[in-house]
Structure 1
Amino acid sequence: MDIALILIAAFAAGVLNTIAGGGTFLTFPALVFIGVPPVLANATSTVAALPGYLAGAVGFRAELAQMERAVVLRLVVITLVGGVLGAILLLVSSNEAFSVIVPFLLLAATLVFMFGDRLRAWAASKSRAVTPYGTAAMLMVSIYGGYFNGGLGIVLLALFALWGMVNIHEMNGLKTALSFALAAISMLVYAAGGLVVWHHALAMMLAATAGGYAGAPLSRALPKPVVRGLVAAVGFGMSAIFFWRIL
């Protein structure tokens, strides 16, 4: 039953990530509910998302090729550094401390997901309000992503808008490439620290990949507000459950 639960959660997460994002709201809680300690569940959930990031990066390779190579490489290096720092923070976090932080992270990620379009629009109106391709902002976002992956894509898109980027396809390509780099380096740190439950992670990778494929036709059939409402309900529901767990 435990394996069935995480496979279903991973498949549904793959579908959601293809349609709108928010797969973390399913994979992380599913692992916790079957008894995986929160820190290990967070690391394992991030590793399970790795194939999806890779597929996205490959899919946007044409858009990435249009960007200045030196800029992309510089951002990848900053992302790798931030990912390592965030993963180390997770490595030294106790399950008790992380359990207290998780509800707030889930709630914040849900709010970012719900208001992602408004956040990007606001960021676009403030374009170049921060240094384009600056180190400090990219490093902070990467540290967050290495520590907790929820809502990372939306935060990255908002950051790109603040830099003044306007081509959504280039933005999505850069987002997926940096997300893959961050998840890959985080996986190495997690693995070195023994945080990954590999048999769960590998099974969830396969299920999430299948879900991502199945999500393509669904993304054309389901209205966007319906999907967003579903993800928001899951996110708020999971946040409430984890708040209840710490009371």
Structure 2
Amino acid sequence: MKMKIWASLFAALALVVPRVALAEDPCRTVTFEGVPFTVCAATASDDVRVWLRDDNGRLIGTPGRLQALMAPGERLVFAMNGGMYAPDRSPVGLYVEKGREDHPIVTGAGEGNFGMLPNGVFCVGDRLRVIESRRFAAERPACRYATQSGPMLVIDGALHPRFIPDSDSTYIRNGVGVSPDGETAWFVISDRPVNFHRLARFFRDELGARDALYLDGSISRLMVPAQGRSDFGWPMGPIVGMVARD
């Protein structure tokens, strides 16, 4: 119950933040079945990254701090929580940054949403991919950046088999889905509490994603500097986002 109260509070705070969209802003609001979702699109040629620690080894924790760490000539286009993490905010599954694997992939079932198989990996390589974890472990595709989370929302066009259409487990939730050709990734956060089934259907039926991955819920937050949006929330583990060069 406390988590739902916090989720509702974060959503309310996000709504009062003034938003002024710029021409290059890739984030837009899409309403699906009466629920607004914010969608930030990136292409395979964009600079999509995941982050965890700064150059001194300290956890970054927040999109605001990440924005302050941008190199000269770079700016943060958007950022959101990028996968599940342990109490010390370290990744619970595969984590790859700048081609280096900092945590191995986990393929076994477990507790919580992460362990609700199938789970999956978001991989930034020559293409943008969401891959079921056991398939990823078998194929080992090259990723400059990768983050594992779960459950999968959409697997080859099908919804996760354990999702319940009328489930009352609703939270602010976020995830990432990819186009069939791997040229586009959609980073999505619900602007109202939703269940897994509705979030998955949004990716499949509204965006056309054949593969999509849940990143988290209740703690989900988004920062879009061009809109003046910076959702309130606690420090997090992995962060995923896009960088542009001025």
TM tier relative to shorter chain: under 0.3
Decide which structure has greater strand share.
2
Q: TM-score, normalised by structure 2?
A: 0.26
Between structures 1 and 2, the one with greater helix share: 1
Q: Bigger relative contact order, structure 1 or 2, given CA contacts below 8 A and separation 6+?
A: 1
